[in-house]
Amino acid sequence: MTHADRSRRDAIARRAARDIPDGAFVNLGVGIPTSVANFLVPGREIICHSENGILGVGPAPDAHLVDPDLMNASRQHVTLLPGASIFHHADSFAMIRGGHIDIAILGAFQVSSTGDLANWSTGLDGVPAVGGAMDLAVGAKSVWVLMEHRNREGISKLVERCTYPLTAVGAARRVYTDLAVIDITPEGPVVREIAAGFTFDALQGMTDARLKLAADWQPAEVA
């Protein structure tokens, strides 16, 4: 991954971190979402959950402070915040399926204009790995998606209809990309923020799904 790729993905995670309300229990999924913990302001009461059995996930450790026994569901080394707890995988999924996770922050290959989520297989190559995504997509009170606006081939990941195998129907409520913040509403995708240097028309030209511009939209802050 290039420095530009990392910077772009970190900017998405940083932006989403700002919107998490105090007191929320938040699952951080595979990909860009795992970085959200790095950008939470210290002292805020936000409890990050990892599906393999952790409450109280902290930011990524410094290289010289890695504990090889502490890993998240993405097999990445993590830290624990004061008061964190570790528990059985089954208990973790009981939390998810019981509706105790306020926000599931997930990555995606595609999100449709009605919030359909496809994030476990492209159906083309690689080994499909659904993990806990289906449970999270239907068990969490709200689902936010963090993804780059276009894939490596320059094709929009926000689409009218998903062409990849679905994880869940109508699950996504908000999408954060490197170009915009978009709410998925009954009227379709509504743009709340647009990245600096882009107009709505330019954003629409890079997006397969038909967008609407919120009356109170804002230009995104420079990271």
Domain spans of the chain, in order of start: 3-219
**pLDDT of 69-115, one tens digit each?**
999 988 899 999 999 999 999 999 999 999 999 999 999 999 999 99
Burial of 176 (0-12, 13-18, 19+ CB in 10 A): buried
| Residue numbers of the chain with a pLDDT score lower than 50 | 223
Alpha-helical (H) ranges within 20-56 are none
User: Looking at domain 3-219, which of 3.20.20.140, 3.40.50.720, 3.40.1080.10, 3.40.50.410 is its CATH number?
Assistant: 3.40.1080.10
The confidence score (pLDDT) of residue 81 equals 94
Say what the pLDDT of residue 122 is.
Answer: 82
Question: Tell me, what's the pLDDT at 56?
Answer: 96
What's the confidence (pLDDT) of residue 28? 95
Q: Please give the single-letter amino acid code of residue 105.
A: I
Average pLDDT, the chain: 93
Catalytic residue among 51, 153, 160, 221: 51
Phi/psi at 27 (nearest 5 deg)?
-90, 135
Q: Is 51 a catalytic residue?
A: yes
3-state secondary structure of 53: coil
Amino acid at 1: M
Q: Considering only CA atoms, which of 16, 192, 190, 167 is closest in space to residue 103?
A: 16
Distance linking the first and last C-alpha atoms of the chain: 20
User: How far apart (Å, rounded) are the C-alpha atoms in residues 157 and 110?
Assistant: 5
Helices (H) and strands (E) in the chain, counts: 4, 13
